[in-house]
Structure 1
Amino acid sequence: MARRSRIQMDDEDTELNMTPMLDVVFILLIFFIVTSVFVKTPGIDPTKPTAVTSAEWKPSILIGVNAANEIWIDKRPYDVDEIRPLIMSMQAENPKAEAIINADKDAEVGVVMSVQEMMQDLGIVTRVGTNQ
């Protein structure tokens, strides 16, 4: 009779079960993806005037209008006629959306006003800021 030594181990006994660790990793990954907040920028950085007083306000829709009267949303330029469906889709994502329009000092008032009127038609609370 051949006896097996206690020190000798079968190959089957040396495997590690990685399934529970992978489950934990995927759960953590899903948690961080769901809880992450993405910062939206209009795509341009106009110079802003200094304010004597400031109020805390965090809009979810950022719109920039530069001196060439281009409307920038999410780092892409648009014409006035092209932004309505885009704003409506942003409002569908967040029904309580608030917006701010950052306009360059050399931007035409008519372009800024048409964007503001569109926001009012859609029922979005909007503030307009001009840059000196």
Structure 2
Amino acid sequence: MIEFGEPLRGNRIPDLTPMIDVIFLLLIFFMLTSIYSKPVIPLDLPDGASAVKEEREGIDVGIDPDGRIFVNGDPVLIDEFEIYVARLLADEPGQPVRLMSDASNRFGLVISVMDKLRLQGAANISIVTDGATLDEK
């Protein structure tokens, strides 16, 4: 008969390598599949009691407190703004344009941007507000 040695006694530590591999694979999976948010321009929007939430595709034009203009999150110089918007409107004419301006901006700058949008054929321009009424403030 075959004789086997005595079984090992004492602390046996399980091999953690496969578990560490699985943890790293899960970490990589969740890092690659998570949804990254778009960069957002910090704006203090003016109040509007009659605001309606709109979830359609279109062009987002933002004016930050320093007067810089952003189109769909991309910074655009005021001189290049008309050309940039004309290209976007040429792809899909009639698409809505949402204008977001900080409450502290000069009114003249907002009107200038609206005029340039209309000159390029934007007919559906909405001004975005935060939806709060004066009573809520």
For residues 89 and 121 of structure 1, do their structure 2 counterparts lie closer, same or farther at Cα, with a shift above 3 Å needed?
same
Counterpart for residue 89 of structure 2: 91
Structure 1 residues without counterparts, runs of 5 or longer: 1-40
* SS class of match (1:47): coil
Relative to its length, the structure with more strand (as a share) is 1
Relative to its length, the structure with more helix (as a share) is 1
Q: Which has the higher contact order (CA 8 A, sep 6+)?
A: 2
Counterpart for residue 44 of structure 1: 41
1:55 aligns with 2:52: yes
C-alpha separation in 2, matches of 1:47 and 1:106: 8
- Retained in 2: the 8 A contact 1:42–1:76? no
Counterpart for residue 125 of structure 2: 126
> Taking every aligned residue pair, what percent have the same amino acid on both sides?
20
When normalised by structure 1's length, the TM-score is: 0.57
How far did 1:128 drift? 2.0
Question: Which of 97, 102, 105 does residue 104 from structure 1 map onto?
Answer: 102
C-alpha separation in 1, matches of 2:102 and 2:129: 6
How far did 1:91 drift? 0.5
Give the total of aligned pairs: 92
* SS class of match (1:92): helix
